[in-house]
Chains A and B, each alone.
Chain A
Amino acid sequence: MAEWDTIPGIGRFLLPLFAKNNGRKSRWEEITKTGLCGLRLLCPNGQAGELEAARDHALFQLKIGTFQVGRGTECEAHLIGVIDDDRGACTCFAWEMRERRLVGPFRDNAFAMRYRNVGYLAIENLGLKV
């Protein structure tokens, strides 16, 4: 769920990297966001969240986790989103690891994300243009 690839010849959707996918992979920050108009979050329980964007550089994904001294990092949620307007409003899905459930679509804001206290999203790091 943390590595991504584009479908050759289509280039419209990003999919998690599978082992048999010819070894092609890319980090989110390294893939081109131009022409990216859809994003799917495929969940371990078979559900999927899907978002579409009307323009480039509007889709994003991130993981939310906590590092505790003596425990290490636990990933709590994997979130995908799409920016809806120039005020940062966005629509999101999230797979919550501990609860093992898909939540969304829900509305939030990239400039002050309320979901799990994420706060202001790093627009540049995520490749967004708002």
Chain B
Amino acid sequence: MANFTTISLDANVENNTTESYQALGAANTEVRWSGTGTGLLSTASASWPADIRPASTGNVAYTYAFTADTTGFGFWGGSATAANPPAFSNANYKWARWTWDALGTFASAPIFTAYDNTSDNSATSGILAGTAGDTGSYSYLKANLWGEVTSTSGPTAAPTNAPVVTDGAAGSVSPTAGANWATHYQALQGDTNYLTFPNTPAATTADHQSVIFALFNGPNEVPGTYTPQLALKYTWT
């Protein structure tokens, strides 16, 4: 088959100056969010602490990359070994990247989006559907995409605009092809709202494309357990 053998979402656990990536993709690997920034690096998924619904909208401050159930790293944690994450900042622009190997050939430009869970491709949960009062009915999950593959150039500056809770546009958003981010963050909601790569990557060529993402919450969010799945929708020859 001409499909890719390895695709992963790689979390940068150091910083903009020194990049060190942890690959997420295999079973039991996860991105997790919390309002707590310490003491969670070895917390099992089943014991992940709840956040209190806030009185006003804002970031869920801390983002973690788990390479196993109890092996966590802080996104942009400043260390190649496990370290607590800083609070999300748009300035931490070397945040993550999609990675693919040289075994496959894309037949169109890939799409970065999110689905509710691993069982199907719905995106109707409270977190991805958003709420009228908090997000303008866009997803609470926002992301931005760099406009070219890393072998051409990686990010050299932060996105022009930091994410805000009402970011979102119907359908596809793409950055202009080149060394730039999309102007605004896009809401990720399944096949409804998503980011599309501005180009189709070269055939049978391993590469990366950088992304940055942030989760919001707010007073109109319905309390519950959410397991949004970051996803790369793609085609191959």
Chain A residues, Cβ within 8 Å of B232: 66-67
Tell me which residues from 59 to 76 in chain A have a Cβ below 8 Å from any Cβ of chain B.
60-73, 75-76
Q: Are the CB atoms of B2 and A28 closer together than 8 Å? A: yes
Q: Tell me which of B1, B108, B111, B194 contacts A3 (CB under 8 A).
A: B1
Chain B residues, Cβ within 8 Å of A76: 121
Please tell me if A27 contacts chain B, counting CB pairs below 8 Å.
yes
Please tell me if B53 contacts chain A, counting CB pairs below 8 Å.
no
Q: Tell me which of B25, B27, B194, B236 contacts A63 (CB under 8 A).
A: B236
Tell me which residues from 152 to 211 in chain B have a Cβ below 8 Å from any Cβ of chain A.
172, 191, 194, 196, 200, 203-204
In the bound complex, CA of A116 to CA of B25 (Å): 23
Q: Tell me which of A3, A69, A119 contacts B230 (CB under 8 A).
A: A69
Please tell me if B50 contacts chain A, counting CB pairs below 8 Å.
no
Q: Tell me which of B107, B196, B203, B230 contacts A121 (CB under 8 A).
A: B107
Chain A residues, Cβ within 8 Å of B43: none
Please tell me if A19 contacts chain B, counting CB pairs below 8 Å.
no
Please tell me if A118 contacts chain B, counting CB pairs below 8 Å.
yes
In the bound complex, CA of A62 to CA of B106 (Å): 9
Q: Are the CB atoms of A62 and B191 closer together than 8 Å? A: no
Q: Are the CB atoms of B231 and A68 closer together than 8 Å? A: yes
Q: Tell me which of B29, B194, B203, B236 contacts A70 (CB under 8 A).
A: B29
With a 10 A CB-CB cut-off, give which of B29, B234, B235 has the most chain A CB atoms.
Answer: B235
The 8 A CB mask of A18-51 against B (1 = contact, 0 = none) is 0000000001110000000000000000000000
Q: Are the CB atoms of A126 and B107 closer together than 8 Å? A: yes
Chain B residues, Cβ within 8 Å of A68: 115, 118, 229-231
Chain A residues, Cβ within 8 Å of B107: 60, 62-63, 118, 121-122, 125-126
With a 10 A CB-CB cut-off, give which of B107, B115, B194, B231 has the most chain A CB atoms.
Answer: B107
Please, how many residues of chain A have a CB less than 8 angstroms from a CB on the other chain? 33
Q: Tell me which of A62, A70, A122, A125 contacts B26 (CB under 8 A).
A: A70
Q: A68-B231, A69-B9, A118-B235 are in contact. Are A63 and B3 (CB under 8 A)?
A: yes
Q: Tell me which of A61, A67, A118 contacts B108 (CB under 8 A).
A: A118
Chain B residues, Cβ within 8 Å of A64: 233-235
In the bound complex, CA of A106 to CA of B2 (Å): 25
Q: Are the CB atoms of A72 and B237 closer together than 8 Å? A: no
Measuring CB to CB, which residues of chain B are less than 8 angstroms from any residue of chain A?
1-4, 7, 9, 24-31, 105-109, 111, 115, 118, 120-121, 172, 191, 194, 196, 200, 203-204, 229-237
13 contacts between A and B (CB under 8 A): A27-B2, A29-B105, A62-B108, A64-B234, A65-B234, A67-B7, A67-B25, A68-B229, A68-B230, A70-B25, A70-B27, A119-B111, A122-B203
Measuring CB to CB, which residues of chain A are less than 8 angstroms from any residue of chain B?
2-3, 27-29, 60-73, 75-76, 98, 113, 116-122, 124-126
Assuming A67-B234, A116-B191, what are 18 further A-B pairs, CB within 8 angstroms?
A: A2-B1, A28-B2, A29-B237, A63-B3, A66-B234, A67-B232, A69-B231, A70-B24, A70-B26, A72-B26, A98-B120, A113-B108, A117-B191, A119-B111, A120-B108, A121-B107, A122-B109, A122-B203
